[in-house]
Structure 1
């Protein structure tokens, strides 16, 4: 099978199929959503700043 070639030839990689990063949920939003713990998710900017300070 030539699944790799089919994927490369598809329009999946074209600009019309790509979405802005601002429309994609952050990892914390994806992980916290099922928990429903009432805490608002941390913003992407806050997460990056926390990583820079802690790592």
Structure 2
């Protein structure tokens, strides 16, 4: 298994419920939840960008 260099958003606290992000050697991204660090999701940059764009379009409170 590759030793990823995990990053956490500056908006996250040092506590639980943080999303961690790392770049893999094949230039895809790895995501994990700080509460479950052994569960890692692999995504490409375009897919993650599309997901974030879609989330931003959802009205607050939905």
TM range (shorter): 0.3 to 0.5
The answer to which structure has the higher helix fraction is 1
TM-score by length of 1: 0.33
The answer to which structure has the higher strand fraction is 2
Rg: which structure is higher? 1
